[in-house]
Amino acid sequence: MNTKNLFSDREIFTDELVLKQVEKILQHPPFANSDILRKFLKYIINETLFGKPDQLKEYTIAVYVLNKPANFRPPNDGIVRVHARRLRDALSSYYDDQREDDICEISIPKGSYIPVFRSLSPEYSKPDVQIDNQFESDPEEKIRIAIMPFKTFDETNSRLAFADNIGQMLSSQFSHFPNSRVLSYYTTQQLQLKNREIKSIASDYGVNYVLVGNVHFESSRLRVVIQFINASTEMLIWSDKYIYDITKTDLFETEDLIVSRVMNSITGLSSQLSKPAYKKSDLSTLEKPEVVEVIELKGNQRAKKIVSF
């Protein structure tokens, strides 16, 4: 299949615009009343926006969307094709309502699971500022956050996907965080591949805070360690560790629990987070402060430590 032709209009849409369009679609009754259709659409959109459309196969959708076992065999079970047909019908139903304020049309061609993006406005054109530099023109005093892809040393596809999904979900949740902007997850994936340092990310993208994490799997347990870091000074603001028994907890449910706990913790810190007063051009010359306040959260308790250097 010629993937390039499917993306003929993709370049004119930012990730933010596509995700806003998806949120509108999810309010449509066929999606609002079906967990499977919502999950199906969000999965194929996220994989496409994050540069992995070639992974949208019948098998991967069965495993990651429909919770089928690893030994699932598409030739013997047409469940994915059934729900794909439902998804196409639901999208057609949404756009049949002639929504005049929609700019982007999302469709799923038959024989493919890769979404196609088509402009509904002939006057819509590429933004003047590229998405990677989306913070440059932000006139508001907002906190700027980068969610780095979570690392794991386990090479199993399902566990690699688990670690990556946590980063994707946190990126989505932080986009709704009050007075904040979030660097696109696709961009942070590329930055991680290039082994970019935190201060370099802060300088190039105007990021104030970076969230990083790693996932460790044992025979029956899962451990996730997460850190929230001041990007300009590289000082630790908050960290926590989560441990789950993976023999008793569904991995999708575990992802939701982790994301919920992280967001609750960061929300508790929100009043203490602020956009630095210095300019981006000053980042490279900053020296580490002599005194740093580190906040640790354990359960519902908060403790402050003053650390001298």
pLDDT one-digit tens code per residue, 275-284: 554 344 343 3
Going 225 to 283 to 272 to 19, the CA torsion angle's sign is: negative
Task: Choose between 130 and 138: higher pLDDT.
Answer: 138
- Does 42 have pLDDT greater than 90? yes
Q: Residue 51 region, left (φ>0) first, then alpha (ψ -120 to 50), else beta? A: left
Of 34 and 127, the one with more pLDDT: 34
pTM for the complete prediction? Answer: 0.48
Of 34, 18, 9, which Cα lies nearest the Cα of 90?
34
Q: What's the pLDDT band for 292 if we cut at 50, 70, 90?
A: very low
| Ranges of CATH 3.40.50.10610 domains, the chain | 132-277+286-308
Task: Report pLDDT digits (tens) over 175-204.
Answer: 877 778 888 888 898 888 888 888 888 888
Residue 208 has pLDDT above 60, yes or no: yes
Q: From the CB of residue 69, how many other CB atoms can be counted at a distance below 10 Å?
A: 7
In the predicted structure, residue 36 carries a pLDDT above the cut 80: yes
Nearest C-alpha neighbor of 267 from the set 179, 202, 185, 208: 179
Range among 13-17, 104-108, 129-133 rated most confident: 104-108
Q: What percent of the chain has pLDDT over 70?
A: 76
Architecture of 132-277+286-308 per CATH? 3-Layer(aba) Sandwich (3.40)
Whether residue 300 has pLDDT greater than 90: no
Enumerate long-range contacts of 275-284, CB under 8 Å, 24 or more apart.
275/141, 275/142, 275/143, 275/144, 275/208, 276/208, 276/232, 278/232, 280/203, 280/206, 283/199, 283/202, 283/203, 283/232, 284/199, 284/203
Mean pLDDT of 22-29: 91
Q: What is the pLDDT of residue 264?
A: 84
Q: What is the pLDDT of residue 229?
A: 94
pLDDT above 90 coverage of the chain, percent: 22
pLDDT score, position 99: 66
